[in-house]
Amino acid sequence: MQPPSHRPVRFLDPARRALIALPLAQVLAGVVGAGLLAGIAGWRQAAGFAAGAVVIALGQAVYGWRTVMRPQVVPAGRAFARLWLGSLLKWLVIGAGLATAMAVAALPAGSVLGGALVAYLASLFCLPWLLR
């Protein structure tokens, strides 16, 4: 019989934790920014800001689903194809989402792009801590 281990149990590896936490951090940054913007510029700009951040988070989630949530040990060609297809799907989701937010929903373009920028900045600032 082996003695009990006193190391903390990690249910998810760092990549899968980042897959969950990174889009949540991006949405949180968008909601905080939209809340601040709602008091200054109104609900329409705030909705555009939040929509931009949510679109970026959704694109990141699609990329993570396509790359991280698959079996990790695969031939190099298959791993490269996953990365390529994940990036393609991510940018298709982001492009379609931003275009829909600006054209169909008629949200202010500056606010939508500002929310997208804040979501990307959140990913740049949060990623080193999420991969620990």
When pLDDT is averaged across residues 8-34 and rounded to a whole number, the result is 84
3 state DSSP class of 9: coil
The Cα–Cα gap between 54 and 100 comes to 12
Q: Quick check: 59 and 97 in contact, CB under 8 A?
A: yes
State which H helix or E strand residue 45 sits in: helix 43-67
The candidate with the shortest Cα–Cα distance to 120, out of 82, 91, 100, 81, is: 91
Q: In the prediction, which pLDDT does 19 show?
A: 85
Mean pLDDT of the chain: 89
pLDDT band at 44 (very low <50, low <70, confident <90, very high): very high
The candidate with the shortest Cα–Cα distance to 114, out of 21, 62, 63, 44, is: 44
Q: Mean pLDDT highest for which of 10-19, 73-82, 121-130?
A: 73-82
- Give the pLDDT confidence of 85-107 residue by residue, as tens digits: 999 999 999 999 999 999 999 99
